[in-house]
Amino acid sequence: QVQLVESGGGLVQAGDSLRLSCAASGRTSGIYALAWFRQAPGKEREFVSGILWSGDNSYYADSMAVRSTISKDNAKNTVYLQMNSLKPEDTAIYYCATQPAVNKNFDSWGQGTQVTVSS
């Protein structure tokens, strides 16, 4: 099993930047990919960005492709999500999750970190 702890969220102003962190522990050798999801009040959870654990391939939702960068430090078992030019519609709880293999469900989830963007 993988344990995940998100951090870096907070209250920011529109146009500001944040870097979210997701620290993984436990069976990190079983991670195929790690991804960020977010869920805003009254909306369904949506994919934000993802990255392969052992490779460098990264993926972004269309709404985040220009404004965000996902990266990782395998030595620290940590994945980062740099978000720039934040908008009020980015307000959500951001979760990280791990996928054990391609085409498998994301089965380990963090507790989430709140991002609130004011105008």
- DSSP labels for 36-75? EEEE-TTS--EEEEEEESSS--EEE-TTTTTTEEEEEEGG
Q: Which residues of 63-102 are buried (b: 16+ CB within 10 A; e: fewer)?
A: ebeeebbbebeeeebbbbbebeebeeebbbbbbbbbbeee
pLDDT in tens, 32-79: 999 999 999 999 999 999 999 998 899 999 988 899 999 999 999 999
The predicted pLDDT at position 94 comes to: 98
The predicted pLDDT at position 36 comes to: 98
pLDDT in tens, 88-119: 999 999 999 999 999 999 999 999 999 999 99
The predicted pLDDT at position 63 comes to: 84
Rg of the Cα atoms in the chain: 13
The predicted pLDDT at position 103 comes to: 94
